[in-house]
Structure formats: C-alpha cells, structure tokens
Structure 1
Amino acid sequence: MSEHRAHFDFDLSFANGGGLSGTGFRLDLPSADLDEAAIARLLVQHLGLALVDEVALRDLRIVEEPHRGSRGIPRASTDAAPRVVDLSHRIRAGLVTYPGLPAPTIAPHLTREDSRARYAPGTEFAMDVITMIGNTGTYLDSPFHRYAEGRDLAGLELSTLVGLRAEVFHVQDAWTPERRGIRAETLLDRDVRGAAVLLHTGWDRWFGRPEYGKGAPFLTGEGAQRLIEAGAALVGIDSLNIDDTESGGERPAHTLLLAAGVHVVEHLTNLGALPPSGARFTAAPPAVEGFGTFPVRALAEVP
C-alpha cells in the first residue's frame, strides 16, 4: 500500500498569544485525500501543541512518499500474517566488511564425494570450515567487545535480542557529507524505551564496494547518550560503523552504549523496507564464550 506525506509552509497562532512558523515542513498522512483543515489538525497533533487558535498552510503539496513516523498518524490495521524482512548482508568468501579486516575464507572439511565412503549407499554430507573475524557481515557487538569485564556473547539475555519493538529513524536525508553525525536532536520525537533503535542512513547501498569505507554517516556521542537516557535496548545502523571511523580513534558511541549494556548492530541493510514504528526486530548471535562480536541474521517482523 502506498504512503503519502504533505509538504507545506505554515503559520500558527496561539489563543493566549504568540505564534509559530515553519518552512519546508513534511508530515505523514493516513490517506492522500485529506483537505487542508484535516492536515492542519494533524500538524497540531504531531507537534503536541495546546491552545492553538489558527493554522494557515501555504504551498501545500501531497506526494507519494514513505512515512517517517509523524506522531498522531495511525497505522493501517491488518489481519495478515507478519511479513519477515531480512536486514542482513550475505557472507561469502572474500567479502570485505570493514577495510583492513580479514575477509572470510570457506573450505571443505569433508566433501560429498569423500563422505560416501563413510555412510550407507545413497547417503552423503558436506561439512565445511569458515574462518572469519567476528566483525563480518551484519554483526552484533556485546559489551565484552569494548570492556574486558562486560558480558560476552554467551552472557546476553535473549529477551534483549529477540522480538524487540523497532523504532526506525529514516535519516537518509538528515545528514550531509559535511555533517555526517546523527545528532541527539534528530532522535527526540519517539518513545524508545525497551526498543531496538534502527538508524536508516542509506549507506548500505555501498556495502562491498570501496565507497563504503570512507565518508560514512554515524551516531554522535550525544546521540548515543540520548538513547541511553531514553532507555533503548539496542541500537543498529546500516553504515560502516556506529562511530566516526575518521575521528582519529575515538569511539564515543561504542564506549557509551556498551558501558550501559545497550547492544550495537552494525552493517544492517534494507531498513528502508520497514515502517517507522510497529515492526519487531531480532538479531541473536551464537552463545560463544569469551567472544565480543559475531554475525547475526538480523530480521524484522512487520505486521
């Protein structure tokens, strides 16, 4: 089902004095056939304003565009079974996830041909060996990745990894090459307590190519602190790193999030297929003792 948004400028006055104006505003719409008065009411609801007297919209356009999570816009109800969206990059031999880290190698331990001598006629198996760093493909960072005393992969509670309420921030137009950091102010409009906060930057389009390794968007330290204070359970991003890898070695987002027990999932993909709210997110690694990071099959269930 297609989604629509309204683009407009506005002037708003309050019954007890004062006013508010905005230019280039964009607002999710529950349908494309709303009149100006209905859109004005949605604007007031989205902004959470009280004692509004008059609202005037200018240059109003309604365009077909994915929703970004405006408040007060109900989601269409459906009785259909949840749709499962794969959010993971495929792992293959030679894949470069992060420049400078080793690529995985895959080799047979027991070929199908050799296995025939070990089993009954008509029965054969393949057993293969993969050698890879934990930071391969789409992976999860546990606190042990950053802190020696932090929980390792085997120590993570499954309840913090499976079926989390997903709050997806579609921020692909909220950063620029000159200002790549996603700031706290961009993350203020949602209740994220207990949720998986997923940052859709659009950078995954370069995954596996040289362009992926330089100029990537990231989460600022202030943004990470905001999510911790708001009670997020997990933070994921479809970019090279949750931190700025061109900052000279500083890693404030990792440092803050993992110290607070907030899991980090990096190198996600396909976040554009998710609604701003309403999906359930899962990213569970194997329970490896003494290990801090490992690939996951990240997925979302969308009602």
Structure 2
Amino acid sequence: MTEHRAHFDFDIRFANGGGLTGTGFRLDVPAADLDDDALARLLVRHLGLALVAEVTLRDVRIVAEPHRGSRGVDAASERTRRIIDLSHPIHAGLVTHPGLPAPTIEPHLTREDSRARYAPGTEFALDVITMLGNTGTYLDSPYHRYADGADLAALDLETLVGLRAEVFHLEDAWDAAARGIRAETLADRDVRGAAVLLHTGWERWFGREEYGRGAPFLTGEAARFLVEQGAVLVGIDSVNIDDIESGGERPAHSGLLAAGVHVVEHLTRLGEVPARGARFTAAPPAVEGFGTFPVRAFAEVGA
C-alpha cells in the first residue's frame, strides 16, 4: 500500500489573536488527492491547536512517501498479518560493536560422530557457540548497568512481548552534526506503555568500520523524557543508545535502565515498520546473573 505525505508552507491565524507560520512542513496524509481544506484540518489536528480562525496553505505538494506518524492520520492497515524480522543474523566472526570479540561456533558432536550413538539413519549435531552477550541485536536489562538491577531471568514478559510500537522515522530528522536525538523530536506521541523504536538508517553501516563512527544516539534528556512519559522499551538501529564517542558517559543507558526501561540495540529493517499500529517483541532467554543477550526482535503488522 502506497503512503503519501504533503509538503507545504502555511500561515495560521487564531481567533483570539496571534498566529503561526511554518515553512517546508511535512504531514502524513491518507490519500494523494486530498484538497486544501482537508489538509488544513489535518494540520490543525496534528498540531493540537485550538481557536483557529484561518489556515492558508502555500506550495502544496503531495508525494508518495512513507508515513512518519503524524497525529490525526490512521496508520495504514494491512489486510493480512505480517511479521517483520528486526534482528541481524548471528554467525561466526560477526562484528557487532567495533572492538568487541566476535562469536565462534564449533561442534561438540558432529553428525558423523553421532551415528555411532543412535539407531541407523538417526543423527544429530550439537554445537557450541561462544559469544559476548552484546552480539547481534540484543537487549540490555537493568543488571547490565546496575549490580542490584533485574537480570534477564527477572524480566516481566509483559514488558517484552506484543508491545504497542511507536516508530520514529528519523533518517532525515536527527542532527548529523550534533548526532543526538532530542526530547523535542519525540514529543508528539503518546508513548506510555509502548516500545519506542528509533529508525535512523544507521544500520546501513552494520558490520563495517563506519558503524562505530559518527553514529546517532539518544540524548540523556531525551531518555529522561521517555522515562517520564512511561515508555516500556527503547530500541535503536544504531551502534549504541548512547554516544560512544563521549568519553565513557552513558546517560541514556543509566537513566533508562535505572527506571526499568529495556534497551534494544542494533535493530534493522525499522524502515519497513509503520510509525503506528505495529506490535513489537524482543524477549531474551531467562539467564540468571546476566544482563545482556541477543533477541529475535520482530514487529507484527496487520490483523
């Protein structure tokens, strides 16, 4: 299903005085043939304005472009249920985070050797994988940051399975110079009880040296904002939820995990998930005394 967005400038005049002007504004729209009156009403609803007397639109262009989650526009419905895998596959030698060890995989029992243990025609493979918990797409529990925090085995599955997903498509919205995703960028959604998923497009560098340099991250004040707003989980398709070039400070991890908000890093394919309407799952195994482990993260879209 093709989605559309309107690009335009606007002037808004209020009935009780004052006004508001916008240039280069973009807004999700339900159809390509929307007229200016309908677009003006969507704009007012998206901005949450009251006592609007007049809306003037200029240079309106409606183009085929994925929705970004504008308020007042329903998420595109899917006729059939679809699962979108948001995890990077794990294989021997995979470099997830530059500088950290890659996993190794070796046999404990080969198929050939197993034939002597089982009935004719029956064989098995038993393999050993040695890897850091921070491998592939993984989830951080509070124990990862805090010695007295909840470990993987203590996590409540209700906070990991079938969460309402609020996906922020930010490829062209995060500041490439400052790199940090700020609270203001996330302030137009109700994220209480939701998985907040930050789509930056940085996944394109995964497995390459570029992945660890100049990456987008969540600022500390934005992490505090998401905690205050009641988010349950925060995920990103970047090398880290924090700025790994900051000299060791980790305000996003510290704030989120202290509040029991799970962190999922190294997501992929978030561009395929609608801004609203999907369900997100990322459940690790219940390992006691362990803080971080790979997950099979996925989004469910449609009925």
Specify the alignment match of 2:122 in structure 1.
123
Matching residue of 2:49:
49
Q: Does 1:85 align with 2:87?
A: no
- Amino acid corresponding to residue 32 of structure 1 in structure 2: A
Separation in structure 2 between the aligned mates of residue 229 and residue 291 of structure 1, nearest angstrom: 27
Aligned counterparts of 2:274 and 2:75: Cα–Cα separation in 1: 9
Q: What secondary structure sits across from 1:165 in the alignment? A: strand
Tell me whether 1:208 sits opposite 2:198 in the alignment: no
Per-residue CA shift, 1:241-265, capped at 9, x if unaligned? 0000000000000000000000000
Query: Structure 2: how far apart are the matches of 1:178 and 1:44?
Result: 31
TM-score by length of 2: 0.98
Aligned counterparts of 1:100 and 1:77: Cα–Cα separation in 2: 42
Residue by residue, what CA displacement relative to the aligned partner does 1:13-41 show, whole Å, maximum 9, x if unpaired?
A: 01111111000000000011111111111
TM-score (normalised: structure 1): 0.98
- Give the aligned residue type for 1:69: G
Q: 2:176 & 2:261 partners in 1: Cα distance?
A: 27
1:255 maps to which residue?
A: 254
| Superposed displacement of residue 77, structure 1 | 4.2
CA offsets per residue over residues 129-166 of structure 1, 9 Å max, x none?
00000000000000000000000000001111000000
Q: What is the rounded CA distance, in whole Å, between the counterparts of 1:74 and 1:164 in structure 2?
A: 18
Per the alignment, residue 111 of structure 1 pairs with 110
The aligned amino acid for 1:3 is: E
1:21 is matched with 21
1:28-73 deviation line (CA, Å, top 9, x unaligned): 0001111111111111111111111111111110110000001011
Residue in 2 that maps onto 1:74: 74
SS of aligned partner of 1:257: helix
Shift of residue 74 of structure 1? 1.9
Q: Which amino acid aligns with 2:29?
A: L
The separation in 2 between residues aligned to 1:123 and 1:256, in whole angstroms, is 52
Which digits, 9 at most, give the CA deviation of each residue in 1:243-297, with x for residues without a partner? 0000000000000000000000000000000011110000000000000000000
Number of residues of Structure 1 aligned to a counterpart in Structure 2: 302
Task: Give the % identical residues.
Answer: 79
Unaligned runs of 5+ in 2: none
| Corresponding letter in the other structure for 1:156 | L
CA distance in 1, matches of 2:284, 2:202: 23
Residue identity in the other structure for 2:3: E
Paired position in structure 1 for 2:267: 268
Structure 1: tracts of 5 or more residues without a match = none
| Residue equivalent to 2:100 | 101
Corresponding residue for 1:218?
A: 217
* Mapped partners of 1:74, 1:87: distance in 2: 23
Q: Report the CA distance between 1:191 and its aligned residue.
A: 0.4
Indicate the residue corresponding to 1:6 in structure 2: 6
Correspondence for 1:283: 282
Greater mean alpha carbon deviation, residues 34-43 or residues 261-270: 34-43
1:7 is displaced (CA, Å) by 0.2
Q: What is the SS of the residue equivalent to 1:118?
A: coil
**Residue 81 of structure 1: CA displacement?**
3.3
Equivalent in the alignment of 2:193: 194
* SS in structure 2 at match of 1:117: coil
Whole-Å separation in 1 of the counterparts to 2:177 and 2:299 = 32
Instruction: Report how far residue 82 of structure 1 moved.
Output: 1.6
CA distance in 2, matches of 1:65, 1:125: 49
What CA distance in whole angstroms lies between the structure 2 residues aligned with 1:184 and 1:248? 22
2-structure distance, mates of 1:81, 1:20: 41
- Which residue is 1:154 aligned to? 153
2:141 maps to 142
